[in-house]
Amino acid sequence: MKIKFRQNKGQVAVAIILVMTVLLGSVGLGADMALLYFNWVILQKGVDAGALAGAGYLQSDLQAVPQAINVAVTYAENNGIKNSELQKDANGNEAYVPGPNYSTITVTAKRTVPYAFFKLIGLPNGIVAATATAQMPLAPSCVNCTSAQPTPGSQPTVTPGNICSSPGQCNVIPIGLDFSTPYTFNQPVQLNENKVGPGNWGSLALGGVGGANERTNIANGYGGPLAVNQWVDTEPGKKVGPVDQGFNDRISQAQSEFPNGTFDAHSPNDPRVIILPMVNWNSPNGRSQVEIMAFAALWVDSISGGTIQADFIDTESFNSTGDPNAPFRGARGRPILIK
């Protein structure tokens, strides 16, 4: 019996060793796999952020590509990716923007992760990679929208109190552009120069009425939601002083924040970038309502005597919802990840 007991003890010891080996191996394998996954999550977060940020700077032409790439790299690095981990394209760029449309940007990163357990079987390191492609956003059906759009149709002006609080903070301006007039990218245009109907020169009453409201609305921008097919009030009268003062405040802030900004090389955050509702004017008489049909993007060159010199551009309107059915007039909604 003693001999049999000793034999059983030996068998149990062997079994325990085998079980412990498997357990330790499983723990080690799990730890290494968890480390790989953890690093992949960091990379994916970083390339997603970089691609989305860079796409917001694309403008369907080659000139905007360098700035879009620089922004993408900055955001990727700010979200945990080292510059050396970003994979370069055939031209040596750390993000890829293919022509001829220049409407998408791809950011790819790879990271070497040192193993703990796998080193015991001759595998010192593992490689994780992540890639993201973002598309230049679609035309918006709604600007200043975080979720649902305002209900289309005839309705009163959005409740006052949505004017932003400092010069250049928001980019939607209370000037309605004629939707029936064709415009092209880079085309110069004059705003508030001619009558669009009895007593109306193109201004809209957003968030309130009167000259003081219009000046503040132009300088700071309007932050309330506006949607295609929504009706808004006009602001009758040619208020030269308030218009000049509002745009001068806006331009002054832009020159302070973005002294090197130009029409063809600027940040979307530059206060000289403005978003205008395009409306059906139909010769309104006094204070009337007009229907929003689309949204246009412009760059403000100068202001004098209530007339604004501007140029059509192609840029993002922040906090805006892209819609494949919305008419495109230069303004775009949020960038979207497509891969």
pLDDT on residue 293: 94
Domain shared by 108 and 229, yes or no: no
Considering 135, 157, 185, which residue would you say is the last residue of a domain?
Answer: 135
Quote the pTM value.
Answer: 0.70
- Alpha-carbon distances, residue 46 vs 41, 55, 156, 191, 269 (angstroms): 9, 14, 43, 41, 22
The two three-digit tokens of residue 29, written as one number: 């394998």
For the chain, where are the alpha helices, taking DSSP H only? Answer: 2-55, 65-78, 211-220, 240-257
Are 151 and 57 members of one domain? no
Q: Are residues 77 and 216 in the same domain?
A: no
Token reading at 195: 């009558």
Q: Say yes or no: 103 and 249 in one domain.
A: no
- Shared domain for 77 and 185, answered yes or no, is no
User: Average pLDDT per run of 10 along the chain, which is 339 residues long?
Assistant: 50 52 51 84 95 86 90 95 94 93 93 77 81 89 70 44 82 93 86 87 90 93 90 92 94 94 86 95 91 94 91 84 86 85
Peptide bond into 100 cis (omega under 30): yes
Q: How many independent structural domains does the chain possess? A: 2
> Are both 126 and 94 inside the same structural domain?
yes
Quick one: pLDDT at residue 298? 95
Domain end call among 114, 135, 156: 135
Per-residue model confidence (pLDDT) at position 225? 87
User: Any idea what DSSP says for residue 64?
Assistant: G
Amino acid identity for residue 81 in this structure: I
Q: Give the pLDDT of residue 10.
A: 54
For residues 263 and 150, membership in a common domain is answered with yes
**125 and 51 in one domain?**
yes
**Are both 119 and 166 inside the same structural domain?**
no
Domain limit, last residue, from 83, 100, 135:
135
Choose among 109, 48, 54: nearest CA to 83: 109
Looking at the fold, whether 112 and 145 belong to one and the same domain comes out as no
Query: Does 95 lie in the same domain as 34?
Result: yes
Q: Angle 179-332-215 (CA atoms, 0-180°, nearest 5)?
A: 65
Query: How does DSSP classify residue 197?
Result: B
For 306, the domain range is 140-337
- Angle 102-269-245 from CA coordinates, rounded to 5°: 130
Query: Quick one: pLDDT at residue 335?
Result: 82
The verdict on 74 and 13 lying in the same domain is yes
